[in-house]
Chain A
């Protein structure tokens, strides 16, 4: 008896007494506590789930249904009743894809494709862009439409894109549809990538469903390595520096010095990378533990030597999705289309209007507008293949504009996309004039400066991405512009925020480590015995926990 009692006491001491309410809270949707991979609750639920999964590995439909149920529960924990929306949209998309597959007449096929694309975009549009459209309309025409109280279901941007890829690939006859709805629902609702990607393509994922479930030792090593890295990136680096530094500066940039604004911009660059890629890595790792290989989503993007290179390394699953389904659909580098010309023209027209309307207060907006139009035009006028470059650049610009908008409903995301679109066009024409030699190894200095310039351009664009609105972004940029060399003052600030800056440095050093070094670390990890791996993982759990309970740094006003 005493032993049971002592175990019970030990349990209460370490985990607290478990009440019925607590147990209920584990299974009921709570908008304030989403079920993220880096929470203790997820770990607990996953352990139970995974244990049973191991026994089901040889079954097929039982296993699929089991994972679907867990996925739906997972989604319910994040978005409440909106898991029904996921179910509804999957039923409609599955039905349409069946029709498209069975239909032989091209025209009818296309009609159903258009219907399904419109339905998916309308769903996304209502939940994500409704209020943005209303606000924009009200601003432009002095309208007075009331805002809708719309809840944005978690991950809707991801799973609508994923189901669209399925339908378009069927239409393009790149894949065969799944045998039944269960298999399709498994693909759409697969919980590791459900809420934050990577956006898995039907043609990569579906074949894996039918393969015999297999998990090699190497898979487990890879998975654990990804999960460990992801946990540290997401919960330690990203969360800590955002709450304790970056958010504050971006809230009221004018209350902080130039140096703090600059560091917050660098801080945000590493924060968003760690947040996004960390979560992706965890998703890929967890999927791998279940025996599924998801595509790589980030390849140390800040090591890019050009903006084109950056988009091959940043959020790869999105950029390839946009390339295959948006860029190519509107003509790619072959032909122009109405949509391809419409969005850039609208954007530049709007930019020009903005410049003209602000002309009385400042000439700068007009200069910005005219010069960006000029740069964009020069990017194809200077080219030797003028016609082809023109359509490519217009289509690319459209892709970047809409890609920007995909990240969030707001003018600052459009501006962010436009900046990247413009930079891609400029890089293209630059490459035409200074082609890189394929066989020659690039000179170190050249490489260094390419990385430096690309990185700083990306950081500059992030300011628009992060700022609450356009005005705040300009405040940050303006304040940074007033930076003067005052090492004493910088030292004071760095010491004041030493935890934050230490983590930022750690994040950047880790990011810029040579690949051979990370591979070396990986192979050492691979060779450690099972128990040591568990201890390492346990230690990382502890780091996550200890960071989560760390008090936030009190605000500091420096004296200068």
Chain B
């Protein structure tokens, strides 16, 4: 048999196929499986975000954004003194804004002096902090250094309750939940967690059961206390602790009411709500009354904008009891996917959010945490998403404008291309969606965050000592000149 022809024929087929491929490449579309737009009705994304994106028609062109950015980067940020403390000037590029965390740092200082004091942090976030990721690590770090026991405020239901290890919550299916993510006019105002729950029992009991987790400093449920809102009708709740049942009446007279389940610490308990369907239920707080407590208010799909809809009176009522010293806003993941690199609309919206927080928790320090690195496939390669840096800069800008501290998570985790490293590393620190951290990565992020805050605190103590020693000389006081830049921004 003549074998010659078949070797060369088979070569010819493979080679001709290459030619055919080049031909197909010319005439066929660039890619299959295009990213189709999804019906937003079924997807968890906040409605305010969608509206803001839709309204974003008067966008700046990119040139002018770049121009104002160059201006900004050159600005030196010089601080006014606050209570005789003045942090050294810094550049916009490396902006951290410790100056604006002085209230929080002073409270930490007082706590260090007197361990019976309390410091409380509200950590608002998106899916990055789901299941208490990142937040539990920040909490543990603070409790390790300053004392304190307990996981803080916990909502009733949550999409991520199953994945949360720091406290285990199980609940009946008949809770009615309203979230600030997609409800504009709730039946009763939202709680500090952005949710309101109703024990909607159609004949069956509506219940929730808590069990302490295994995390350090959170191995028991300390002073569990129920938070609920105002209603015209009363209701009942039965707390079941071991074999005992404690019957209590809910008297919903104030904007925010509390009911202690038990003084001291429990391992687990169950709460049955009876005839309470008109009473807004917010959640339970677990803290031992001293030290640092960190509340995790995570909500998947959140951009941070919905906070601007908070009812300030209700928040103040919460604050009277919980007394926040620092509010952390950790958002960004959900505003990366809109094809825009101009985030002036987001800056505007988040400024409203920060103002609402200032109104709700008077005197509180605010810290903005930027978006982390996120990768997207460009051609055949994973790269940092082109929207990450513009968003991070926008976040830094509104942090400065609203006099908030700032943590640049993007540079902290390694900057350009770092998410790819975190995913590919062995053991991996982030998930294959190139967006979310896993337990290990979240711990690293929590530590990075804590370290930056801690550095500011250590500096604060030195500055404070200097002040008290009377060494610090009064300097000519000037405010940051960022205002003029923002004027050019608005006028465009």
A51-B11, A289-B10, A552-B434 known; A213 vs B16 contact (CB < 8 Å): no
> Please, what's the 1-or-0 string for B430-467, where 1 marks a CB less than 8 Å from any CB in chain A?
01111110100000000000000000000000000000
Judge whether A255 and B160 touch: CB under 8 Å. Answer: yes
| CB within 8 Å for A216 and B13 given contacts A534-B20, A550-B33, A557-B127 | no
Q: Knowing A215-B7, A549-B380 are in contact, say whether A248-B431 is a contact too (CB < 8 A).
A: yes
B17 on the A face (CB < 8 A): yes
Binds A, one of B37-45, B349-357, B407-415: B37-45
Asked whether B44 lies within 8 Å of A549 as measured between CB atoms, the reply is: no
Question: 1/0 per position for A509-544, CB-CB distance to B under 8 A?
Answer: 000000000000000000000110111111111110
Q: Nearest Cβ distance between residue B424 and chain A, in whole angstroms?
A: 8
Extra A-B contacts (16), CB below 8 Å, given A220-B9, A530-B9: A43-B14, A46-B14, A47-B14, A213-B3, A215-B7, A220-B13, A251-B432, A252-B436, A255-B130, A530-B12, A537-B17, A548-B380, A550-B31, A550-B32, A553-B33, A560-B159
Which stretch, A153-161, A323-331, A343-351, A491-499, touches the partner chain B? A491-499
Q: Which residues of B contact A557 (CB under 8 A)?
A: 43-44, 127, 159, 300-301
Say if the beta carbon of B15 comes within 8 Å of chain A.
yes
Give the residues in chain A near B379, CB-CB below 8 Å: 549
CB under 8 Å from chain A, chain B span 199-225: none
Known: A550-B34, A559-B43. A223 touches B24 (CB 8 A): no
A547 close to B32 (CB less than 8 A): yes
- Which residues between 239 and 255 of chain A lie within 8 Å of chain B, taking CB atoms? 240, 243, 247-248, 251-252, 254-255
Query: Nearest chain-B residue to A554 (Cβ)?
Result: B337
Q: Mark B148-189, 1 if CB is under 8 A from A, else 0.
A: 000000000001101100000000000000000010000000
A243/B163 contact (C-beta < 8 A), A538-B20, A542-B25, A545-B21 known:
no
Q: Which residues of A contact B23 (CB under 8 A)?
A: 538
In the bound complex, residues from chain B placing their C-beta under 8 Å from that of A504 are none
Interchain Cβ contacts within 8 Å, total number = 173
Interface status of B376 (Cβ within 8 A of chain A)? yes
Q: Are A254 and B22 in contact (CB under 8 A)?
A: no
Which one of A54, A248, A534, A549 lies within 8 Å of B13 (CB-CB)?
Answer: A534
Residue picked from B17, B159, B163, most chain A C-beta under 10 Å? B17
A219 in the interface (beta carbon within 8 A)? yes
Interfacial chain B residues near A535, Cβ < 8 Å:
16-17, 20
> Closest CB of chain B to A312's CB: distance in Å?
32
State whether the Cβ of B88 lies closer than 8 Å to any Cβ in chain A: no
User: A556 vs B300: C-alpha distance in the bound complex, in angstroms?
Assistant: 10
For A495, list chain B residues within 8 Å (CB): 38-39, 42
Residues of chain B lying within 8 A (CB to CB) of residue A46: 14
- How far apart are the CA atoms of A229 and B423 in the complex, in Å? 30
The 21 sampled A-B contact pairs (Cβ below 8 Å) are A46-B14, A47-B18, A54-B8, A215-B10, A216-B6, A251-B433, A254-B160, A289-B14, A499-B33, A534-B12, A535-B16, A535-B20, A536-B17, A538-B24, A539-B20, A542-B24, A550-B377, A551-B376, A557-B127, A557-B300, A558-B44
Kindly list chain A residues whose C-beta atoms are within 8 Å of the C-beta of B11. 47, 50-51, 54
Contact indicator per residue, chain A 480-500, by CB within 8 Å of chain B (1) or not (0): 000000000000100110110
Check A299 for interface membership: any CB of B closer than 8 A.
Answer: no
Contact between B42 and A496 (Cβ–Cβ < 8 Å)? yes
Our pick among A498, A542, A555 for the contact of B28 (Cβ within 8 Å) is A542
- Does any Cβ of A come within 8 Å of B35's Cβ? yes
Number of interface residues of B (CB under 8 A): 58
Which residues from B are CB-within-8-Å of A57?
3, 7
Task: Give the residue among B13, B23, B42, B130 with the most A Cβ atoms within 10 A.
Answer: B13
With CB as the reference atom, state the residue of chain A lying closest to B336: A554
Cβ distance A493 to chain B, nearest Cβ, rounded Å = 9
Determine if B1 is an interface residue (Cβ-Cβ < 8 Å): yes
Cβ of A14 < 8 Å from any Cβ of B?
Answer: yes
**Cβ of A402 to closest chain B Cβ, rounded Å:** 24
- In the bound complex, residues from chain A placing their C-beta under 8 Å from that of B39 are 495
Give every chain A residue within 8 A of B44 (Cβ-Cβ).
Answer: 557-559
A479 on interface, CB distance cutoff 8 Å: yes
Cβ of A252 and Cβ of B24 under 8 Å apart? Answer: no
Closest chain A residue, CB of each to CB of B381: A549
Point out the residues of chain A lying under 8 angstroms from B20, CB to CB. 534-535, 537-539, 541
- Chain B residues near A223 (CB-CB < 8 A): 10
For residues 319 through 372 of chain A, which have their beta carbon under 8 Å from a beta carbon of chain B?
A: none
Determine if B19 and A538 form an interchain contact, defined as CB atoms under 8 angstroms apart. Answer: yes
Minimum C-beta distance from B25 to chain A (A): 6
- Determine how close the nearest CB of chain A comes to the CB of B317; give it in whole angstroms: 29
Answer whether residue B191 sits at the interface, using C-beta atoms and an 8 A cutoff: no
Q: Which residues of chain A in 41-72 are interfacial with respect to chain B, using CB atoms and an 8 Å cutoff?
A: 43, 46-47, 50-51, 53-54, 57
Interface presence of B242 (CB below 8 A) = no
| Interchain CB contact under 8 A, A555 and B21 | no
B residues in contact with A541, CB < 8 Å: 17-18, 20-21, 24
Contact of B38 among A50, A215, A552, A556 (CB under 8 A): A556
Contact A553 B43 (CB under 8 A): no
Q: Mark B25-60, 1 if CB is under 8 A from A, else 0.
A: 100111111111011001110000000000000000
**Of A51, A216, A538, A552, which one neighbours B377 at CB under 8 angstroms?**
A552
Residue of B9, B17, B131 touching A538 (CB-CB under 8 A) = B17
Chain A residues in 8 Å Cβ range of B19: 534, 538
For residue A546, CB closer than 8 A to chain B, the reply is yes
Cβ of A224 within 8 Å of any chain B Cβ, yes or no, is: yes
Given the known inter-chain contacts A47-B15, A557-B301, please indicate yes or no for A496 contacting B43, CB distance below 8 A.
yes
Q: Hey, which chain B residues are within 8 Å of A479, CB to CB? A: 162
Contact of A543 among B32, B42, B434 (CB under 8 A): B32
Q: With an 8 A cutoff between CB atoms, is A136 at the interface?
A: no
Contact with A along B395-436 (1 / 0, CB 8 A): 000000000000000000000000000000000000111111
Quick check: is A441 within 8 A (CB to CB) of the other chain? no
Nearest 6 A-B pairs (CB), nearest first?
A: A538-B20, A254-B163, A534-B16, A537-B17, A247-B432, A541-B21
CA distance A53 to B14 in the complex (A): 14
- A560 to chain B: which residues have CB within 8 Å? 159
In the complex, whether A217 has a CB less than 8 A from a CB of chain B is yes
Q: With a CB–CB cut-off of 8 A, which chain B residues contact A534?
A: 12-17, 19-20
Contacting pair B43 A556 (CB below 8 A)? yes
A9 interface contact, C-beta 8 A: no
* A546 with B127: CB separation less than 8 A: no
- A254 to B25 Cα, complex, angstroms: 41
Assess the B3–A546 pair: CB atoms within 8 A: no
Q: How far is the CA of A551 from the CA of B374 in the complex (A)?
A: 14
Given contacts A14-B22, A542-B24, A552-B376, is CB(A559)–CB(B182) below 8 Å?
yes
**Binary per-residue interface labels of chain B (349-382) against chain A in the complex, 1 for a CB within 8 Å, 0 otherwise:** 0000000000000000000000000001101100
Q: Do A251 and B13 form a contact, CB below 8 Å, given A219-B6, A538-B24, A548-B380? A: no
Complex Cα spacing A255 to B159, Å: 8
Q: How far is the CB of B182 from chain A (nearest CB, A)?
A: 7
Specify the chain B residue showing the minimal Cβ separation from A46.
Answer: B14
List the A side residues contacting B43 at CB < 8 Å.
Answer: 496, 556-559
Which residue in chain A gives the minimum CB-CB distance to B337?
A554
Once A255-B130, A479-B162, A558-B43 are accepted as A-B contacts, the answer to whether A546 and B32 lie under 8 Å apart by CB is: yes
* B-chain residues with CB within 8 Å of residue A543 when the two chains form the complex: 32
B-side contacts of A47, CB under 8 Å: 11, 14-15, 18
- In the complex, chain A residues whose CB is within 8 Å of the CB of B163: 252, 254-255
By beta carbon, the residue of chain B nearest A553 is: B35
Task: For residue A514, give the distance in angstroms from its CB to the closest CB of chain B.
Answer: 28
Q: A496-B43, A546-B30 are in contact. Are A533 and B21 (CB under 8 A)?
A: no
**A498 CA to B6 CA, complexed, in Å:** 43
Asked if A214 is at the interface of the complex by the 8 Å CB criterion, the answer is: yes
Contact yes or no, B38 A220, CB < 8 A: no
Question: Would A220 and B6 count as touching, CB distance under 8 A?
Answer: yes
A496 to B337 Cα, complex, angstroms: 16
**Contact between A530 and B432, CB atoms less than 8 A apart:** no
Residue pair A554, B432 in contact (C-beta under 8 Å): no
Least CB separation from B34: chain A residue = A550
